[in-house]
Amino acid sequence: MSILEAIILGIVQGLTEFLPVSSSGHLVLANEMLNTELDPDKSLLMTVVLHFATALSTVVVFRKDLAKIFKGLFQFNWNDDAKFSVKIILSMIPAAAVGVFFDDQIKAFFDGNVVLVGFMLLVTGILLFLADKAKKTEKEVSYSSAIIIGISQAIAILPGISRSGATISTSVLLGVDRDRSARFSFLMVVPLIFGAMAKDIMGAEISFDSSDIVPLSAGFITAFVTGLAACTWMIALVKRAKLKYFSFYCFAVGIAALTFTMING
């Protein structure tokens, strides 16, 4: 992989991890359009690096919230911080279970399946459009809501289903305040990303050689910087009820992906 290709993938990951348009789906499409010829182990390595970059940008943006979560986990008072920590843990269970028990099936979905990505982007578009029409409230995330949002995150493992789009839309449709929905959505994925990375690394499923350092570094830096900007921007957009514009984008890209597949047979 060239440095330019790594930078492009980094930009795609950094923007689409937080904007509700499916980072995994866009990485599949970007790899197809760039015609990057990587063996599965090297492709997985790049994916791990890019996801680590965006996870790190989430940590930077939400460092105060994360400090409260850790404080809630390690103190004995049953206060709001402790309750929020439990809700984060509950939301992680569905996706963690899917990742553990259906790992091989999940990886098969990422094998250049442009048709699946196209259809799932249309589903994402519908979710975002419906969420944008929901009434604004001041409601917090409940324990039951945390589990339901977690289920939507598990479904969003499919490429083309935006994780942030699915979780934020589900949260808003459940009546949760928009700002709280966005923050909960971004915070709930951080432990899962680091957990998935640890699993891949310990499982020795990735390969690395010295020639990979420069493109990997370029992809990491690009994904981290664009991730910082996209995360901050997304919080503001959710609060201002601007999700419908992303739904239109998902519709357009989904239709384009399906059309591209039919034309190229």
Q: How far is CA 168 from the centre of its chain?
A: 11
Type and span of the H or E element at 40: helix 40-61
Asked whether the beta carbons of 184 and 66 are under 8 A apart, the reply is: no
**Is the sign of the CA dihedral 135, 117, 46, 2 positive or negative?**
negative
Structure tokens given for 76: 């004995």
Local structure of residue 176 (DSSP, 8 states): B
Query: What's the length of the chain?
Result: 265
pTM of structure: 0.80
- Structural domain total, the chain: 1
Residue type, 226: T
Distance (Å) of CA 114 to CA 16, 22, 154, 248 = 17, 13, 20, 19
Asked whether the beta carbons of 53 and 224 are under 8 A apart, the reply is: yes
Helix, strand, coil abundance in the chain, percent, nearest 5: 80, 0, 20
Q: pLDDT per position in the chain (265 positions), as tens?
A: 788 888 988 888 888 888 888 777 777 777 667 666 544 455 667 878 888 898 899 899 988 888 887 777 776 677 788 888 889 989 989 988 887 777 667 666 666 678 888 898 999 999 999 988 888 888 899 999 999 999 999 988 888 888 888 999 999 999 999 888 888 988 888 888 787 777 767 765 566 667 778 988 999 999 999 999 988 888 888 777 678 888 999 999 899 888 988 887 6
Distance (Å) of CA 264 to CA 33, 122, 254, 256 = 12, 20, 16, 12
Query: Which residue range forms the structural domain that includes residue 159?
Result: 3-263
